[in-house]
Structure 1
Amino acid sequence: MVRNAESRSTAFDEQEPILEVDKTQQDAAATGHKDNSRKAYYREFRKVLENADVVLEILDARDPIGTRTLQVERMIMDSGVSKRVILVLNKIDLVPKENVDKWLKYLRNEYPTIAFKASTQNQRRNLGHSSVATDAATEDLLKSSECLGADMLVSLLKNYCRSVNMKTSITVGIIGYPNVGKSSVINSLKRSKVCGVGSTPGFTKVAQQITLDKNIKLLDCPGIVFAQQGQDGRTDAEIALRNCIKVELLEDPITPVEVIVARCPTEQLMTMYDVPYFESANEFLISLAQKWGKLRKGGIPDTHLVARTVLNDWNGGKIKFWTEPPAADKSHIGASVVTSWGEALDMNFA
C-alpha cells in the first residue's frame, strides 16, 4: 500500500506543470476570494486524483467539450498509474434527447460515458431514483425531480470492482468544472443530501469523502478552472459563460453577453425577455434596462447591471442552449488504450 501511494504521488508530481496553467485572477474569482488560494485548491484536487481508482469527470450536457478537463485526462493517462476515467454527461434534462444521443456516441469513442440527470429534490433523505433508462425516459420524467442514470453508473462501478478482483472498496474521484453538478451527482448516488450544493462557483472548497456502500467510496473535488485565455480557443468570456467566475466579480459582464447573443437565435431572446428586435448585444441590453427600469442618473440605461442578470439566467439554465458534437475529431487517447480497458468498464455488462 505504501509503495502504491508513493508511486501515485510520484506519477502526479511529474505532471505538476499541467496544473500550473490557471491564472491567479480566474482562481480568485472562481472561489470568491481576492487572495490567491490556488495552491490550496490544487492540493485538494491532487488528493482526489492520487487516491482515486476510478475518476468520474462530470460534464455539462449543454457544452460537453467546453466543460472537459482534457489536461487532467492526459495527465491521468500519461502518469502510468492504473486508473480509469468515466465521463458523466449531467443535466441531460436541459437539452433535446437526440442531442444527448449524439454526444454519447461521440464521447464513447474515448471513454465510457453515462447520461445522467441529478435529483433536484431539496430534502436531506430519500432522494428519488428512477430505474428507467435515460434513453427511454419520457419528457415528463426528465422534467421531474427524480434522478436518472444512477443505477447504470453504480452498476458500471461495481462491474469494475468485480472485473479487477478487488477485495476492498474502490475510491471514486469526482472532478469537473465549477457548477457542472459534482455534488448533485454524489447526492443522487447516495440518495441523500450529503454534499452542499450551490449554483455559484467555489461552493465546494475541500475534498469530501462519502461512503456509497461497502464497495465504493466517493471523493468530491472542488471545481478548478484549468483553461487559460486563448488556450483551446477559450477566451475570458467563454470561461465566464461556464460559470467559472462569480458574476458579481466580473469587471466586464458585457462581453460574455455578446457571446450569448451571438450563440442564441435573436427570436429566442426576444420571446424570452419580451423585447423588440435588436441587432447587437448593446441594443439588447438597452432594451432590457428600459423595460426593467434599470437606469442610472440622467436616464442612462445601466447595461452592466442588466448584463449580470442575463448572465445569472444563463448560468441557471433559463436561457436554453446546447452544442453539437464535432463531425469528426481525433481522440487524444489511443484506440489501443481504450481496447485494453476490456470488460472492466464494459458498457454492455448487463
Structure 2
Amino acid sequence: MRNAPAPVGADGASAQDERLRRWRLVLGAEAAADGTGRALAGADAAMDTALSALYGTRPDDGRGARRAGGLGASAPSAARWLGDIRTYFPSSVVQVMQRDAIDRLGLAALLLEPEMLEAVEPDVHLVGTLLSLHQAMPETTRETARTVVRKVVEDLERRLATRTRSALRGALDRAARTTRPRHRDIDWNRTIRANLRSYRPEFGTVVPERLIGHARAAQGVRKEVVLCVDQSGSMAASVVHASVFGAVLASLRSLDTRLVVFDTAVADLTDRLDDPVDVLFGTRLGGGTDINRALAYCQSRITRPADTVVVLISDLYEGGIRDEMLKRVAAMRASGVCFVALLALSDEGAPAYDREHAAGLAALGVPAFACTPDLFPEIMAAALEGRPLPVPAAE
C-alpha cells in the first residue's frame, strides 16, 4: 500500500518540511550538518541571523568554553539587530530576546546611547534596566529614557487604573457605612433591602429596624495607605508597578497615600505621586536592604493606626536588625494597623525570598506572598475593608 501524502500547509510546505524548518531555526547553523538537511532563505535566513547573533555559538576558544554570538561593539549594529527582531518576531518574543541580550551580551552599556533607546521595545524589564543605569546616563540620553519609561507607565495605567479605582472606591464605600447615620446620610435603597422582613402590610410600608448609611466625610480622609517598597536590584519590576499603583491610589480623594522606597537609606517620594515617571527616576535600584529602618520611618508617619494600611513590598532579605523589624510589625498591628507583606508585585511569579523572615511574619498573622498587578486591587480592597486577604494558593 502506498503511503498517504503528507498534509500540505497554506504556503505549500508539507508538515514534515515545516517541522524541519522549525528545528533548523531552533538548533542553529550547525543543524544543517547535524541531520535536518534544511536550508533557509529569505525571511527565515534573516530570522536565523538575528537568533544566531544572540544565541549562536562560536568555536572553542582553546579553554573549553563555548562563547555566544555577538551584536558587535557599536550601538548602530545593535540598533539594527533590534530593528530586525521587531520585524520578524512578535512583541512578547522581542521583549524576551531584549532581556537575554542585556544579560548575555552586555547590551545594557549600549542603552546609554539615544539611538539604542529609540530602537528597543519598551517593557517593565527594560524600565528596570534603565532605572539602574540612569545615574550614569549622559544628558543627551535622559530625555529619551524618560520617553521610553513614560510609554511603559502609560500602558500600565491604561491596563490597571480603572479597575483599581473601581475596586477601591467600592471598598471605601463599604468601609464607611454605618448603622447609626444621620438622617441626611441614610442610604435608603440599602436600608429598605436590609429591612424587607419588617414589611407591614397594614401600613403598606417597611418599618426599618436597622438604618444603613454613610459616615460623615467632613473630617477629611478616611483611610491612609503607606506603600513601603524595597528598591534593591531584584525588585525592579515591583518598583515599577508600585509607582503606578501609588499614583492611582493618590488620585482617590478618600485615601491619603504615602510612597516610601528604601535600600539601606529611606526616601519618601510622596510629593512626586502625581507623576509615576518622576517617582521612578527618584528611585535608586541596586542598593542593600534595611527593612527595619524603612518600617521605622513609616511607623513615625502614621497618625491614625486603625485607619491605616501599610503594604511592605520586599523579598525580605533583611540587612538590618531582624528581631527589631518583627517587633516593629507586631507593634503596628497591635496599634490597629492593617499590615500586608508582598514578596513581589509583578507578573513574574514567586520570587526568591528569605523564608525565615516570611515565617516570622506569618507567626505574627501577616502572610507574605507574591502578588500580580491584576490581584493587587483585590488585596487593597480587602485590606481597606478589614476583610481576610485573598491570598493566592501556594504552588
Pairwise TM-score range, normalised by the shorter structure: under 0.3
The structure that is helix-richer by fraction is 2
- Compute the TM-score of the two structures, normalised by the length of structure 2: 0.22
- Compute the TM-score of the two structures, normalised by the length of structure 1: 0.24
Larger Rg: 2
